């Protein structure tokens, strides 16, 4: 059964399931492993706070997403496409269409902002 409301608990479930997929992904896994190492627990908690802030308005996240990501090396357009595909797939599996689209719309905005920083343009087409 899909969620028809968004709560912090199901935001955490989305983050955990999505980043579990990222970790196993041939394209994204190595990028995240290089940035985070083996212990993702602190990062997953920060991501839960990030998504809770932007989707639920909790204001529990403090940080500079853009600045932090701009320090990464080796990021390519294909990374964003794959990230958005996996994120959309996970959100659609867990949530009803309206709630999934809230997450996906925000994910597209985040990805667009970061792509402009990395490539001076938006690359994704999803």
Question: By three-state DSSP, how is residue 41 classified?
Answer: helix
Reply yes or no on whether the pLDDT at 52 is more than 90.
Answer: yes
Which tens digits make up the pLDDT trace of 64-104? 888 888 888 889 999 999 999 999 999 999 999 999 999 99
Average pLDDT, the chain: 92
Can you give the residue ranges of every domain in the chain? Answer: 8-119
Residue 51 near residue 99 (C-beta atoms within 8 A): no
Interatomic CA distance for residues 12 and 24, integer angstroms: 18
Interatomic CA distance for residues 25 and 1, integer angstroms: 26
Interatomic CA distance for residues 81 and 126, integer angstroms: 7
**Domain 8-119 CATH (choose: 1.10.490.10, 1.10.540.10, 1.10.1040.10, 1.10.760.10):** 1.10.490.10
Reply yes or no on whether the pLDDT at 124 is more than 70.
Answer: no
What's the whole-model pTM score?
Answer: 0.92
Looking at residue 72, its pLDDT comes to 83
């Amino acid at each position: 059964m899909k969620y028809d409301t968004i709560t912090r608990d199901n935001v955490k479930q989305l983050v955990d399931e999505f980043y579990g997929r990222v970790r196993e992904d041939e394209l994204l896994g190595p990028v995240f492993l290089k940035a985070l190492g083996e212990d993702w627990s602190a990062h997953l908690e920060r991501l839960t706070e990030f998504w809770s802030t932007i989707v639920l308005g909790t204001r529990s996240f403090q940080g500079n997403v853009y600045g932090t990501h701009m320090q990464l090396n080796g990021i390519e357009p294909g990374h964003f496409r794959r990230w958005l595909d996996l994120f959309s797939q996970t959100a659609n599996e867990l949530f009803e269409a309206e709630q999934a689209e809230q997450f996906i719309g925000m994910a597209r905005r985040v990805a667009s902002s970061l792509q402009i920083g990395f490539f001076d343009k938006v690359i994704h087409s999803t």
